[in-house]
Structure 1
Amino acid sequence: MLPDARPGEPFTTPAWLAEAHRSPGAAPSGPVGDRFYAATASPLDGGLTAWWLRDETVQRTLTAELEAERRRTRFLAEASSALLASLNLERCMEVTARLAAEHLADAAVVIAQTGARRLPVVVRDQHGRVTRSSVAAAPESVPGLDEALQGFPPVPPRWIDPATAPAWLVPEGFGPVGAMAVTPLPGLGLSAGALILLRRARHAAFDASEAEFAGLFAARAGAAMSAARLYAEQNQVADTLMRALLPPTLRHVEGTEFAGGYRASVDTDRVGGDFYDVHPPGEDCAETLAVLGDVAGKGLDAAVITGRIRSTLHALRPMADDHGRMLRLLNNAMRSEGGRVRFATLVLASAHREGASVTLRLTSAGHPPPLIVRRDGTVEEADTGGTLIGVLPEITSRTAHVRLAPGETCLLYTDGVTEAKGGPLGDVQFGEERLKRALAECGGLPAAAVVERVQMLTDAWIGGGRHDDIAVLAITAPRGGVPDDVDTATGGSRTV
């Protein structure tokens, strides 16, 4: 305990104990050599004092280790929250570099896994600055980096000789590098990248405990980066599919106005079970084919079925001169898919310009019949009907022939309009009669204005209440003729 003491000889008392001896009542403690002691005074006769020393080295070491572990646990919890706060890969890389430089090293470099020839790199330097870049370098140029980016088999952190590191790894003005470590960032099933820690020459090198702690941090950072990458990939796929499912932009085709509007049952969704399409005439079809339909169900699941129906109808467009045959083939295609029974109702409308008028062939398959808005405000139901699609092995249909004079409109709509609940009590359906009265005020209006009028009244009726998918499609014989290449006022694909 007191290696310099000799029996019967004076010795130099540790300063902390000598000070306590001169200040009675204190509870002193302090080091003696490489040990730590707490002292307790015991009065003796003759005004002397005996000091009892208790070795607290182990207890103090355990307390310090416990506190250090608590600090690390708090840091890992805070790091996890910060890393998972964003599903943006670049943001995750920046957070990883910042946290690593603040708590593990003097500077940090984060390299993301990529299949490209250039490595995405984020650097947090010794001054706290974060820079992003793309480096044209092979992973093999940095010892341990190639293994860390491969991800399997998992490898521990690797200490590398700073002299072997390429210049792009060391921040400008960093000075001599004392220690450098390459730590893998394990992701979800594969590597998310690598974390490179740098310490200056005057600072201590990484010990085993710090290396283990860096590995724990890297596991959380890798999981966050991997989740961000997966989210970005899924978001890109979803966005690509979503663009294919969104209602198309409608244009004037062959002197006929087309305008449409759509609102999903959930305002945060962009697609649902209602849809419309307009197929211009071509070599295989002399008429413009318009389609509006309603698939059973809501949300993305129903939107996938609408995508299949739209693709099938596009392939069947050469048969548009025979609506009945087209519907029978669509019915067979839907029933042949097997699995859960899915059905749909829809309306086919073939439009052909004849002078100033537009002739229509309208065929309903289990769908509300289209409404014809005459210039004088008269509203008529098209005489068409038929069997819904996707349930029965045999279907029937009846086609109506309608002529639109200039300024007259044919409105195709889904039951989301007439069954929309709202009004003063919040539970009354909009209904067909209310829709007809609204259309009676639209005589002579352009197609886009008719769609906007129906949407405005329906939205006002619903208010903040729940509703089904809503789709409307207006076909109008323009007053005075409209150039074929002019868009409608609303673009025809506005999603509300």
Structure 2
Amino acid sequence: MGGVDFPAGVRPDGLPEALSDPARLAAVRATGLLDTPPEDAFDDLAALAAAVTGAGRAFVTLVDDRRSFWKASVGADAQSAAERQVPVAESFCYFLVGTGERLVVEDAAADPRTRHHRSVGPMKIGAWAGYPILAPGGEVLGSFCVVDEYPRPWAPEHLTMLATLARAVAGEIHLRQSLAASQAALEATAALARTLQDSLLPPALRPIPGLEAAADYLPASGGETVIGDFYDLFHAKGPWWCMVMGDVCGHGVEAAKVTALARYTLRAEATQHISPAAVLRRLDAALFDQRGAERFLTAVYATFRTTAAGVSGRLCTAGHPPALIRRAGGRVQRVGRTGTLLGVLPEVHLTDVRFRLAPGDALLLYTDGATEARPRRGTPGPRAQFGEGGLAAALADCHDLDAAGIVRHLGRAVAAHTGGWSGDDTALLALRVPPRR
């Protein structure tokens, strides 16, 4: 195999033990390049080396414990993956793996390191020069080499160029691995965001006897971060039920923490107070005490009960867009008196407003992602917001639709206005009294 003493010793087959090093093999596999087709990024570098040095052949080679795989091969008639590899013992590359140093041979048949190598004659190796391709951790992945059929000296400037091109190959591999790791991290973050977001929204609205309820959350286009929009519908006590829509300032984990605190505080306080304003004041106190005015939220909260005539309830808004009621005949009216947003001030000004729903009437809660929706920047035409007027018109158009149909219709109306692109997240929650038959 040649008269080279490898620092880490040799395997029983006479090849360097470094070929079988688990860390090195893991680094080779991590490139994702073994058994892959040729690519211009590597072929171009090999072609440049062959042209500049005048050598007939140039290779970008990855070496595992049993073979040398040519990711790029110039001057060799090899197309399929099976043709672009040789047993590791038939390649000079194991010298580089064993020593971690360059190998420069001017006369392969006479050089004591290579004259007994089994490939010198069959592969017509007259001269060979190569540099190791290194992983970020220093492991030798393979070699970048040129091969001449005849013995020849290698000019110093050619060797310098080969060293530079070997680093370029390593840089290309490192960049791909970094991009792959970043993509994997983004996908993991997105999955975590979706899981966390789902945990902050009720998986299904609890059925209310005699009423219809539906909700939907519409994420921003391309958004994968956790957002602060939330809604809930739950039983408080006795005949009383509660529905809430909220919007926490900002995105991410911190917004999620505030969202979670808000949801669970509202559920706990709802069992103690019928007044929505009283419940929201308790939420404000909890946010101010526990979060130190670092992040605010807006909310609209309603407490209601069913009656022989339909629904009777109270509603309070805290810095949030007003609720909308669609009467059975199609008329839409605003409900709610503007109040202080929550989590910033120790004292807030909030007011309860009474409302009633008759058969066929529907109450809509929403976040400002619906009213502030506009076409994507650069889209031809005006970029006007959908606005409360657009939302009210779409709600008025919900003839004979149940709660689920209303939510679907509004979502489609917003999407039609924006061209399917959304700059912010949107939540919708509808409560409807079915018409009498």
TM category, shorter = 0.5 to 0.7
- What TM-score does the superposition give when structure 1 sets the normalisation length? 0.50
Relative to structure 1, is the Cα distance of residues 286 and 424 closer, same or farther in structure 2, using a 3 angstrom cutoff? Answer: farther
For 1:301-316, list aligned pairs within 5 A. 301-316=254-269
In the alignment, the residues of structure 1 paired with residue 368 and residue 227 of structure 2 have an alpha-carbon distance, to the nearest angstrom, of 14
Match of 1:477 in 2: 433
Match of 2:351 in 1: 398
Does the Cα contact within 8 Å between 2:200 and 2:260 map onto a contact in 1? Answer: yes
- Amino acid paired to 2:239: A
Instruction: Report deviation, 1:438.
Output: 0.8
Does the Cα contact within 8 Å between 1:319 and 1:325 map onto a contact in 2? Answer: no
Instruction: Report deviation, 1:62.
Output: 5.7
- SS of the residue 2:290 aligns to: coil
Match of 1:459 in 2: 415
Match of 1:447 in 2: 403
Does the Cα contact within 8 Å between 1:320 and 1:350 map onto a contact in 2? Answer: no
- Amino acid paired to 1:246: L
In the alignment, the residues of structure 1 paired with residue 428 and residue 190 of structure 2 have an alpha-carbon distance, to the nearest angstrom, of 29
Q: What's the CA shift string for 1:57-112, capped at 9, x where partnerless? A: 74x456997984785587443233469xxxxxxxxxxxxxxxxxx959xxxxxxxx
Relative to structure 1, is the Cα distance of residues 320 and 472 closer, same or farther in structure 2, using a 3 angstrom cutoff? Answer: farther
Does the Cα contact within 8 Å between 1:372 and 1:410 map onto a contact in 2? Answer: yes
Relative to structure 1, is the Cα distance of residues 339 and 243 closer, same or farther in structure 2, using a 3 angstrom cutoff? Answer: same
In the alignment, the residues of structure 2 paired with residue 450 and residue 301 of structure 1 have an alpha-carbon distance, to the nearest angstrom, of 32
Instruction: Report deviation, 1:350.
Output: 1.3
Match of 2:27 in 1: 77
Q: Where does structure 2 lack aligned partners over 5 or more consecutive residues?
A: 34-63, 67-187
Match for residue 331 of structure 1 among 284, 302, 305: 284
Relative to structure 1, is the Cα distance of residues 237 and 435 closer, same or farther in structure 2, using a 3 angstrom cutoff? Answer: closer
Does the Cα contact within 8 Å between 1:260 and 1:472 map onto a contact in 2? Answer: yes
Relative to structure 1, is the Cα distance of residues 367 and 242 closer, same or farther in structure 2, using a 3 angstrom cutoff? Answer: closer
Does the Cα contact within 8 Å between 1:363 and 1:400 map onto a contact in 2? Answer: yes
Instruction: Report deviation, 1:327.
Output: 1.4
Q: What's the CA shift string for 1:345-403, capped at 9, x where partnerless? A: 10111121111411121111111110110111111111422111001111111221111
Matched-pair identity in %: 38
1:343 maps onto 2:271 in alignment:
no
Does the Cα contact within 8 Å between 1:417 and 1:470 map onto a contact in 2? Answer: yes
Does the Cα contact within 8 Å between 1:351 and 1:359 map onto a contact in 2? Answer: yes
Computed over aligned residues only, the root mean square deviation of the Cα atoms, in angstroms, reads 3.6
- SS of the residue 1:311 aligns to: helix
Does the Cα contact within 8 Å between 1:356 and 1:477 map onto a contact in 2? Answer: no
Does the Cα contact within 8 Å between 1:370 and 1:411 map onto a contact in 2? Answer: yes
Match of 1:386 in 2: 339
**Is the deviation greater in 265-274 or in 463-472?**
265-274
For 1:42-441, list aligned pairs within 5 A. 58=3, 60-61=4-5, 68=16, 71=19, 75-81=25-31, 103=65, 243-265=198-220, 267=222, 269=224, 271-282=226-237, 285-339=238-292, 341-422=294-375, 425=381, 427-441=383-397
Q: Where does structure 1 lack aligned partners over 5 or more consecutive residues?
A: 1-35, 37-56, 84-101, 105-232, 482-496
- Amino acid paired to 1:80: A
- Amino acid paired to 1:371: L
In the alignment, the residues of structure 2 paired with residue 414 and residue 393 of structure 1 have an alpha-carbon distance, to the nearest angstrom, of 24
Higher Cα Rg, which structure = 1
- What TM-score does the superposition give when structure 2 sets the normalisation length? 0.56
Q: What's the CA shift string for 1:305-349, capped at 9, x where partnerless? A: 111100111111123412222111111100011456111110111
